[in-house]
Amino acid sequence: MLRILGKVRHLGVISESLEPDDEAALTQIGAQLQARVGERFGGSLAIRQVDAGSCNGCELEIHALNNPYYGIERFGVHFVASPRHADMLLVTGPVSRHMEAALRRTYEATPSPKLVIAVGECGACGGEFGISYASCGAVANVIPVDAVIPGCPPTPLALLHGILQAIGRRATR
Amino acid sequence: MSASDWREQLASSVQSTSAESMPGLAPAQLLHVSAADWGKLARVAKELGCRWVAGWGEDRAEEILVNACLEKKGAYMIARARLDHTAVTLPSHTPYYAAASRSERHTRDLVGVHFSEHPDARRWTRHQAWAEHAYPLRKEFAAAGAPPLQTPPDDSYPFLQAHGSGVYEIPVGPVHAGIIEPGHFRFQAVGELVLNLEEHLGYVHKGIEKIAEGRDAAALARLAGRISGDCTVAHTWAACMAMERASSLDVPERAHYVRAIMCERERVANHLGDIGAVLNDVAFTFGFYQFARLREDWTRLSHALLGHRFMMDRIIPGGVAVDLDPAGIDAMREQIRALRPEVEQLIAIAEDNASIEDRLETTGYLDPVLAAELGTLGYVGRASGIDFDVRRDVPYPPYDRLEVAVPVYHYGDVAARVKVRGAETLFAFELIERLLLALPDGSIANPWQPPASELEGIGLVEGWRGEILTYVRFDSAGKITRFYPRDPSWLNWPALEKLMRDNIVPDFPVCNKSVNGSYSGHDL
Ligand code: SF4
């Protein structure tokens, strides 16, 4: 136990100790994100992530949002277990035909108003997999999409940025 | 007895044309086996103590080929049966090798080969996106297919049923509660105790084998890098190795080293992240955040020095696309010097913690005998006594110049799997240091040349999950006509079903994480 406390004390808070340019970007994006989440989602934005066929690369970066560097929860953004609790769906992958029905059902189970973000090259346009007997390609081919975050995979900062833009756009609609 | 004696014994026990050595298929030998003796082959191989490695089918215009790869003591053999399009039936290997079961069902669904005496007649990879008697990997099947306007859900899969008083079922997925890949798990339980777990996978089937057809080498390497994003380096390496062997293309020495450095970096990143995730699943969030932090540090340096956080598309046919300069070499060394004591300290903290010990020890026990029977690979195998690592046992450059230490335990529980991964992380640090020290000068890639004729090749790489076997064949125009990447997850998913038995339902997340099969790598 002492070792744990020692480690914690020794390390301190690292959530801001990013590389200089990253740090500025993250602080800025984070502040904006927090403000918008505060305004439009009562201080808390609930995201349901759906892997609709990804290679799992995008998932790794979405995971990274929860590591202590990005710590997305401090901006009021958190990932929830059920689409019924979600304000936003973060969908990765080309939509495999085998996930098509599950994705539609998840979309239907999400209460309106809802936001859908297609993540990654695959989510945006089908990526390396395109459209085939097994793949529907872009997420927008299956459910309505509000925004895309390109990248293969998008970096955690690109994800933060994309989420921010999407909730900004919502307000102007 | 030499390692390859079993291959002669096996060849002489069945009707076959004598084993040939094809340069592209090295280190495997090719053995043509008559269809009638296909089942006998498996029986004899089993008696000889061979491991069943992989199976795949291939539609050639004039015939259908079915392959099964076997291994013993680092010697590989690819057995091949040729079938006429009018009689596409072969005896199954599954009665002798459980490892063959899902692979044969996949071949049945995609190539249309019927395996007689296969104990499980149910489809596997096919859900509802294509018709029962349409086979996507037949040449007449267009990659676009003829999918329905909306693909219906696959709610008619006949799961095993359990009956009895107090027995109930828990269906989970395909969309899970966390940020993880989709698959379906069906538990039969009494109270909290799991009687049986059955997996239903295939949800992220993206037609990778089919859309590989017609690609050139560079495009195949890109696709291989997206089979399973968390092992993009290892899969790209295996695919490039297979293509380079097929076309007898040499890779510069320096490129071998850079490939291995990246592959070891990928191993470290995943081990760090997963050890943290296992700790998180037993509510030790301190460990989770600490390991997540180290993983992020590690990933950032990959980005800074190699241009991509996961090093995607850095391996190309003929070499690598990125070089290391002296400053980068120093930065890598420096990071290892800083990280090693941290990892050692965190592992010690976790190992000394009684409540973690209580949750991880004896949990998710995979018996060594069962592990061998299932052909379990990587850290899942090595935690259950399977002393195998391609880097040491069938070394490919640059590992043929290095001594590779392979940690093996026999406890077979979650704790042992974590232990193996901790030891492998620390050893990977050492390997990277040695590779950096010996990094040869010279170019980092040779120009790609497609093979002159329809040649085939295999790649064998020890990715962080275990042995990856990749098969490629080129057509006469130098384009890919068959691509089969066998991710280790094929062999490790069935182990998860078995090791969940007699555990409690709430321990499923930690058991699953301790195996961490790739859904995408399996579903293809
Ligand atoms: S965008 Fe790239 S990382 Fe994301 S799922 Fe597609 S191939 Fe994988």
Digit-coded pLDDT (tens) for B23-65 = 888 889 999 999 999 999 999 999 999 999 999 999 998 999 9
Query: Which residue has a Cα nearest atom 6 of ligand 1?
Result: A122
3 state SS of B85: coil
- How remote is the CA of residue B164 from the centroid of ligand 1, in Å? 45
Co-location of B472 and B327 in the same domain: yes
Which residue in B147, B210, B229 is closest to A153 by CB distance? B229
For residue B120, give every residue at least 6 positions away whose Cβ sits within 8 Å of its Cβ, in sequence order, or none.
B94, B101, B105
Atom of ligand 1 nearest to the CA of A93: 5
Q: What is the pLDDT of residue B376?
A: 97
Mean residue pLDDT across chain A: 87
> Average pLDDT in the B81-106 region?
95
* Interstrand relation of B16-20 and A147-149 (parallel, antiparallel or unpaired): unpaired
Which residues, judged by CB distance below 6 Å to any ligand atom, belong to the binding site of ligand 1?
A: A 54-55, 57-58, 92-93, 120-122, 127-128, 152-153; B 226, 229
CB contact under 8 A, B128 and A98: yes
CB contact under 8 A, A51 and B182: yes
- How remote is the CA of residue B95 from the centroid of ligand 1, in Å? 38
Contact residues, chain A, for B202 at CB < 8 Å? 98
Mean residue pLDDT across chain B: 94
Largest CA distance in chain B: 71
Contact B33, B13 (CB under 8 A): no
Size of interface A-B (CB pairs under 8 A): 168
Q: What is the pLDDT of residue A19?
A: 46
Q: Read out DSSP for B346-410?
A: HHHHHHT-HHHHHHHTTTT---HHHHHHHT--HHHHHTTT----HHHHS--TTGGGS-------S
Q: What is the pLDDT of residue A22?
A: 66
Co-location of B327 and B471 in the same domain: yes
Number of domains present in the structure of chain B: 2
The correct answer on CATH 3.10.20.600 for the domain covering A21-172 is no
CB contact under 8 A, A59 and B146: no
Digit-coded pLDDT (tens) for B307-325 = 999 999 999 999 999 999 9
Does position A114 have pLDDT exceeding 70, yes or no? yes
- How remote is the CA of residue B227 from the centroid of ligand 1, in Å? 9
CATH code assigned at B410: 1.10.645.10
**B175: region left, alpha or beta (phi > 0 left; psi from -120 to 50 alpha):** beta
Q: For a pLDDT cut of 70, what percent of chain B falls above it?
A: 98
For residue B354, give every residue at least 6 positions away whose Cβ sits within 8 Å of its Cβ, in sequence order, or none.
none
Q: What is the pLDDT of residue B74?
A: 92
Which residue in A3, A60, A136 is closest to B230 by CB distance? A60
Atom of ligand 1 nearest to the CA of A121: 1
Q: What is the pLDDT of residue B177?
A: 80
Task: Output the pTM of the full model.
Answer: 0.95
Digit-coded pLDDT (tens) for B381-408 = 999 999 999 999 999 999 999 999 999 9
Does position B301 have pLDDT exceeding 60, yes or no? yes
> Average pLDDT in the B468-480 region?
95
For residue B110, give every residue at least 6 positions away whose Cβ sits within 8 Å of its Cβ, in sequence order, or none.
B57, B125, B126, B135, B136, B137, B209
Domain range spanning residue B87?
A: 3-116
Atom of ligand 1 nearest to the CA of A152: 2
Q: What is the pLDDT of residue B216?
A: 96
Testing the interface with A: which of B130, B206, B226, B343 to mutate, by most A Cβ within 10 A?
A: B206
Which of B99, B116, B133 marks a domain boundary? B116
pLDDT tier, B215 (very low <50, low <70, confident <90, very high otherwise)? very high
Which of B116, B135, B163 marks a domain boundary? B116
Taking the CA of residue B348 as centre, how many other CA atoms within 13 Å lie in the half-sphere pointing to its CB? Answer: 10
Of the listed ranges A73-87, B80-94, B482-496, the one predicted with least confidence? A73-87
Alpha carbons B177 and B195: distance in angstroms, whole number: 22
CB contact under 8 A, B150 and A104: yes
Alpha carbons B90 and B334: distance in angstroms, whole number: 56
Q: Phi first, then psi: give them for residue B217, nearest 5 degrees.
A: -60, -45
Pick B20 or B56 by higher pLDDT: B56
Does position A17 have pLDDT exceeding 60, yes or no? no
Contact A59, A27 (CB under 8 A): no
pLDDT tier, B380 (very low <50, low <70, confident <90, very high otherwise)? very high
Distance from CA of B246 to the nearest CA of A (A): 24
> Average pLDDT in the A11-29 region?
65
Does position A75 have pLDDT exceeding 90, yes or no? no
Does residue B309 form part of some domain? yes
CATH code assigned at B55: 3.30.460.80
> Average pLDDT in the A72-95 region?
91
Digit-coded pLDDT (tens) for B353-377 = 999 998 998 999 999 999 999 999 9
This model of the complex carries an ipTM of 0.93
Q: What is the pLDDT of residue A1?
A: 74
Pick B144 or A170 by higher pLDDT: B144
Digit-coded pLDDT (tens) for B141-175 = 999 999 999 999 998 899 988 888 899 999 998 98
Co-location of B234 and B362 in the same domain: yes
Does position A18 have pLDDT exceeding 90, yes or no? no
Q: Read out DSSP for A101-150?
A: HHHHHHHHHSPSS-EEEEEHHHHHH-TTT-BSSSBB-SGGGTS--SEEE-
Atom of ligand 1 nearest to the CA of A61: 3
Q: What is the pLDDT of residue B50?
A: 96
- How remote is the CA of residue A58 from the centroid of ligand 1, in Å? 6
Which of B116, B148, B179 marks a domain boundary? B116
Q: What is the pLDDT of residue B2?
A: 59
